[in-house]
Amino acid sequence: MAAEASSPGVPAAGAAGSTGGRRDGLWLLIIWIVLSVIACLLVALVWGPHMPPGRQSSSAASQQFDITVLGVIATPVIIGVLLYFGWALAFWRQKPGDETDAAPIHGNTRIQATWITVTSAIVLSLAVFGTYELIAPAGAGAGEGPQPIWKPAGTVAQASFDCGSATAAPTWKPGTSNILQVQVIGQQWAWTYRYPQFGCFETTHLELPVGEPVQFNVTSLDVIHSFWAYQLGVKADANPGVNNVAYTTPQHTGQFVVRCDELCGIWHGAMYDYGKVVSDSAFMSWAQSTQVSLASLTKLLPPYALTYDPTVLSSLGKVAQQLRSPSNIVIGGAAGCFPVLVGWAAVKGTVVIPAIVLFAVIFLWTPPHFWALAMKFRKDYAAANVPMLPVVAPPAEVTRKIVWYSYAMVAATLALAPYAGWIYCMAALGLGGWFLVEAHRLHDRVRAGVAPAGGRRAHPRPAPMRLFHLSIAYLTLLFVAVAVTALLPWGRW
């Protein structure tokens, strides 16, 4: 009794919800409501417009709205937890000498019923909200597989295309129900984009018109990738042999980032580029000009399809012919020349005479290079039943063709001189003379050991590998000369 009298401000044990006459529950509720209203308005009106991924497209705007709604819902919960924690630290600390336990709370039907009702309502409401937000923006920018369930209202997808023609009229125009289709092709480690409604050209540049629905057909040539156009709110896995469809409608012009969001190998982190959303007129101008400039390359691409199998060759007869023919290096060597054209087109957006000349240089360089190697390993090719020219033709005929191709190759290098300048021309003449001298020496060594009637032995050391190694140094130095002269501020005609 004396202790109670001397401490009138300390509540008796078991008093809950108040301290010294203060109604803690009511104060907590009032403060929580005020803070929650203020914070929810700040989240919705101030922070919400800056939420990722922005509003550059319909799917991005939908995702930003969803994240803002979830932020508003989470805000009162976070405030309630922090407020309760802070209030407990400030007012509900254990008093000195007070070792009593708090009153146990159990069997409160009202609290149990309220908790079950509120949490069930929240979960069911979020389920309805999430379902609507998935359906309304046509899949919310996510891949829907080859048979999409939700499509942009009022649009139809074209099914057949005229590919490979520079003069074919575009089959898509702004403001029509025909949805623009863009095929996204993933490969280690780059994205390429094919536009089937504009002659099926393929490019490394992704451009889209503002205000027009877009259908992305996403696939892969090798491993699993994931196409992620961040600011557009589009993300779809790129699986080999699968067409994964995603939809969006760009709403604002500007640049956006494209990344691979699936670990796909050692250079996964470098697999990104940038796309652009432009006006309708700018897009049509770009698409039509690109269709014309890349028409020659488009003809070399496989027919447009929703998926591609890189392990199946469409021209197996031609491949077999390459293996059976002594001219296999000439027939198949063209494949090794295409990186020049592809690289030039990727950087410049077109193919011009200098690129074709460089293609010809590598094409004519390949036979002397490989025939010299095949002379050294003639027995190995013969054992493998591969009819390389040195296997089926006399050595003198092989070296004679090496000399012919060498002259043609040097002439092709000089055809680049009007475009590269006099410094390159001097380098090409010097390197070409070096190559021709060694080609003639190989031919002379072989002829010196072969009598018309076959009465003399072949030259004991024709040394074809000298020309093989020289050819590697020759091509390297020639392309170094091309690169250096392109960077020099002088040396032109």
Residues 377 and 473 in one domain: yes
Residues 320 and 467 in one domain: yes
What pLDDT sits at residue 420? 85
CA distance 437 to 410: 12
Dig out the tokens for 397 from the structure: 């005929």
Domain contains 4: no
Task: State the residue range of the domain holding 122.
Answer: 20-88+109-137
Ranges of beta strands (E only) in 221-295 are 225-229, 234-238, 244-248, 254-260, 272-278
Residues 472 and 390 in one domain: yes
Dig out the tokens for 470 from the structure: 């020289």
Domain contains 77: yes
Rounded to 5°, angle at Cα 218 from 128 and 180: 85
| Torsion sign over Cα 467, 468, 469, 472 | positive
134 exposed, middle or buried (CB, 10 Å; 0-12, 13-18, 19+)? middle
Residues 6+ apart with CB under 8 A from 186: 218, 219, 220, 221, 222, 225, 227, 238, 260, 264
3-class secondary-structure state, position 491: coil
**Residue 106 corresponds to which amino acid?**
H
Of 298, 326, 357, the residue that ends a domain is 298
Q: What is the pTM of this model?
A: 0.57
Domain contains 2: no
Mean per-residue pLDDT, 190-218: 91
Short-list 406, 482, 489, CA closest to 442: 406
465 exposed, middle or buried (CB, 10 Å; 0-12, 13-18, 19+)? middle
CA distance 74 to 68: 10
Rounded to 5°, angle at Cα 163 from 158 and 169: 75
pLDDT winner (highest mean) among 47-56, 156-165, 327-336: 47-56
Instruction: Give the residue with greater pLDDT, 109 vs 318.
Output: 109
Q: How many residues does the chain have?
A: 493
What pLDDT sits at residue 487? 83
Phi, then psi, of 450 in degrees rounded to 5: -125, 115
What pLDDT sits at residue 253? 93
Strand 254-260 and strand 272-278: the pairing is: antiparallel
Residues 293 and 389 in one domain: no
Least confident of 14-18, 43-47, 405-409: 14-18
pLDDT at 36 over 90: yes
What pLDDT sits at residue 327? 65
Mean pLDDT rounded to a whole number for the chain: 83
Domain contains 56: yes
What pLDDT sits at residue 319? 42
Of 244, 271, 298, the residue that ends a domain is 298
How far CA 122 is from CA of 71, 106, 116, in Å, comes to 14, 24, 10
3-class secondary-structure state, position 148: coil
Q: In 325-463, which ranges are continuous DSSP H helix?
A: 328-332, 338-348, 353-376, 378-383, 389-392, 395-414, 417-420, 422-448
Rounded to 5°, angle at Cα 127 from 125 and 129: 70
Residues 289 and 339 in one domain: no
3-class secondary-structure state, position 237: strand
Domain contains 104: no
Domain contains 7: no
Residues 294 and 331 in one domain: no
Residues 285 and 395 in one domain: no
Percentage above 70 pLDDT, the chain:
87
Instruction: Give the residue with greater pLDDT, 43 vs 450.
Output: 43
**Residue 411 corresponds to which amino acid?**
A
Mean per-residue pLDDT, 127-144: 82
Residues 263 and 325 in one domain: no
Residues 184 and 243 in one domain: yes
Short-list 198, 378, 375, 197, CA closest to 292: 198
Instruction: Give the residue with greater pLDDT, 356 vs 344.
Output: 356
| Torsion sign over Cα 453, 457, 463, 468 | positive
What pLDDT sits at residue 219? 93
CA distance 294 to 170: 15
Strand 206-209 and strand 201-203: the pairing is: unpaired
Residues 264 and 291 in one domain: yes
pLDDT at 255 over 60: yes
Tens-digit pLDDT profile for residues 352-384: 888 899 889 999 998 999 889 888 888 887 776
What pLDDT sits at residue 12? 43
Mean per-residue pLDDT, 44-52: 90
Residues 331 and 479 in one domain: yes
What pLDDT sits at residue 412? 92
Number of neighbours of residue 2 by Cβ within 10 angstroms: 6
Residues 6+ apart with CB under 8 A from 480: none
Instruction: Give the residue with greater pLDDT, 117 vs 156.
Output: 117
Domain contains 161: no
> What is the distance of C-alpha 149 from the center of its chain?
25
Do 220 and 185 form a contact (C-beta atoms < 8 A)? Answer: yes
CA distance 219 to 194: 11
Domain contains 333: yes
pLDDT at 8 over 90: no
CA distance 209 to 285: 11
Short-list 428, 406, 431, CA closest to 417: 428
Tens-digit pLDDT profile for residues 419-454: 888 888 999 999 999 999 999 999 998 888 754 434
CATH code of the domain containing 285: 2.60.40.420
Residues 266 and 334 in one domain: no
pLDDT at 222 over 90: no
How far CA 221 is from CA of 110, 190, 239, 367, in Å, comes to 60, 11, 8, 30
Tens-digit pLDDT profile for residues 262-305: 898 888 888 888 899 999 999 999 998 888 888 877 887 888 88
What pLDDT sits at residue 14? 41
**How many independent structural domains does the chain possess?**
3
Helix axes 464-487, 353-376, angle to 10 degrees: 160
Q: Spell 439-452 as b/e; 16+ CB within 10 A means b.
A: beebbebbbeebee
What pLDDT sits at residue 25? 83
